[in-house]
């Protein structure tokens, strides 16, 4: 009886991050390649790969990557039926989730241009926003960052339904440039076999920090987030996080 009581007391006192041995469930957009894409029954991409390294390999916590319509994924984290997201810590999201102190990934936005075009030559000489104002860009429907950027700087642009349509317009000289997340632009250029036609420019026009957001209703504790932050800081300090990000950003497909 005493041994049974001792076991019960031990399990009661074990920190929630250890006692909660089941998988940590993370939600992703299902069609945001190469960051997160559903392939068959698996959700793969840059973001799941980063968390596999940090959480599964380095912290020893199993993960389940769940690809869902983005609004639904966020609602499920708010409700506590999913544990976490890896995304921008907006004020709305911080109402229902705790954020990591460390940034896991910086989403970089840069310009893509046609090789040899007037815009390419002008931006190579002067990549400032003032140069962009002299040309017409392309914005994908739903890209709120892009719309805000163009509106703030009064840059003319044309809408398109997706990145591939923007690249198609760019390759046909219908628009002069596209400002897009680097990895998204490169992956779509690769898929369309436009590597010899469209190229990225070096200037970064914006960075969106992605952090781990854990639902306030999740069983995973603050102790887990502290361990997560410690691992990410160590990887940042020793350069292994930057090396992994570079490898994933430049991987040929998912």
Q: What is the pLDDT of residues 40-52, one digit of tens each?
A: 999 999 999 999 9
Report CA torsion sign: 233, 239, 242, 248. negative
69 with 51, same domain?
Answer: yes
pLDDT of 20 reads 46
Q: Would 254 be classed as within a structural domain?
A: no
Q: Are residues 94 and 112 in the same domain?
A: no
* Residue predicted with more confidence, 18 or 144: 144
Is 59 contained in some domain?
A: yes
Q: Are residues 72 and 118 in the same domain?
A: no
Average pLDDT over residues 34-59: 96
Q: Are residues 225 and 183 in the same domain?
A: no
Asked if residue 138 belongs to a domain, the reply is yes
**Quick one: 26 and 139 in the same domain?**
no
- 5 against 230, higher pLDDT: 230
pLDDT of residue 21: 53
Confidence label for 31 from pLDDT (cuts 50, 70 and 90): confident
Is a pLDDT exceeding 50 seen at residue 10?
A: no
Residue 155 within a domain: yes
- My answer on whether 90 and 150 are in the same domain is no
Which residues form the domain of 147? 107-207
Considering the chain, what is the average pLDDT of its residues? 90
181 with 229, same domain: the answer is: no
Residue 69 lies in a domain: yes
Determine the average pLDDT of the residues in 83-90. Answer: 94
Whether 13 has a pLDDT exceeding 80, the answer reads: no
The pLDDT assigned to 144 comes to 74
The answer on 223 and 177 residing in a single domain is: no
At 175, which CATH number?
Answer: 3.40.190.10
The pLDDT of 19-47, averaged and rounded, is 88
Same-domain pairing of 89 and 139: no
Averaging pLDDT over each range in 45-49, 141-145, 160-164, 178-182, which range is the top one? Answer: 45-49
In this structure, is residue 131 part of a structural domain? yes
Question: How many structural domains are present in the chain?
Answer: 2
pLDDT 10s digits, 110-133: 999 999 999 999 999 999 999 999
pLDDT above 70: percentage of residues in the chain: 90
pLDDT at 221: 76
Residues 194 and 68 in one domain: no
In a domain, 53, yes or no: yes
Where residue 187 falls among pLDDT bands split at 50, 70, 90? confident
Cis peptide before 34 (omega within 30 of 0): yes
Is pLDDT above 60 for 215? yes
Q: SS3 for the chain, per residue?
A: CHHHHHHHHHHHHCCHHHHCCCCEEEEECCEECCCEEEECCEEECHHHHHHHHHHHHCCCCCEEEEECCHHHHHHHHHHCCCCEEEECCCCCHHHCEEECCCCCEEEEEEEEEECCCHHHHHHHHCCCHHHHCCCCEEEECCCHHHHHHHHHHCCCEEEECCHHHHHHHHHCCCCCEEEEEHHHHHHHHHHCCCCCCEEEEEEEEEEEEEEEEEECCCCCCHHHHHHHHHHHHHHHHHCHHHHHHHHHHCCCCC
**For residue 155, pLDDT beyond 50:** yes
Same domain, 39 and 88: yes
Examine the pLDDT at 3 and tell me if it is beyond 90.
Answer: no
**Confidence tier at 94 by pLDDT (50, 70, 90):** very high
Question: Taking the model in full, what pTM does it have?
Answer: 0.74
**Whether 79 and 158 share a structural domain:** no
* Residue recorded with tokens 């497909």: 253
Contact in structure between 175 and 137 (CB atoms under 8 Å):
yes
Tell me the mean pLDDT in the region 46-64. Answer: 98
pLDDT on residue 254: 55
**Residue 40 domain-assigned?**
yes
């Amino acid at each position: 009886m005493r041994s049974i009581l001792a076991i019960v007391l031990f399990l009661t006192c074990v920190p929630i991050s250890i006692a909660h041995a089941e998988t940590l469930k993370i939600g992703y957009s299902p069609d945001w390649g190469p960051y997160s894409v559903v392939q068959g029954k698996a959700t793969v991409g840059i973001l799941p790969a980063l968390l596999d390294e940090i959480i599964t390999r380095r912290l020893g916590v199993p993960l389940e990557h769940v690809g869902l319509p983005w609004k639904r994924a966020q609602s499920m984290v708010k409700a506590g039926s999913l544990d976490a997201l890896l995304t921008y810590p907006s004020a709305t999201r911080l109402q229902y989730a705790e954020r990591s102190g460390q940034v896991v990934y910086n989403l970089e936005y840069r310009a893509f241009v046609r090789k040899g075009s007037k815009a390419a030559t002008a931006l190579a000489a002067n990549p400032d926003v003032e140069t962009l104002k002299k040309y017409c860009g392309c914005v994908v429907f739903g890209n709120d960052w892009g719309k805000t950027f163009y509106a703030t700087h009064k840059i003319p642009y044309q809408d398109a339904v997706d990145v591939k349509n923007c690249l198609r317009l760019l390759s046909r000289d219908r628009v002069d440039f596209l400002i897009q997340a680097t990895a998204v632009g490169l992956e779509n250029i690769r898929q369309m076999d436009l590597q010899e036609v469209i190229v990225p420019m070096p200037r970064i026009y914006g960075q969106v920090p992605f952090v781990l957001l854990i639902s306030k209703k999740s069983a995973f504790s603050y102790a887990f987030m502290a361990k997560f932050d410690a691992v990410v800081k160590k990887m940042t300090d020793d350069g292994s996080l930057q090396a992994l990000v570079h490898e994933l950003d430049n991987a040929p497909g998912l």
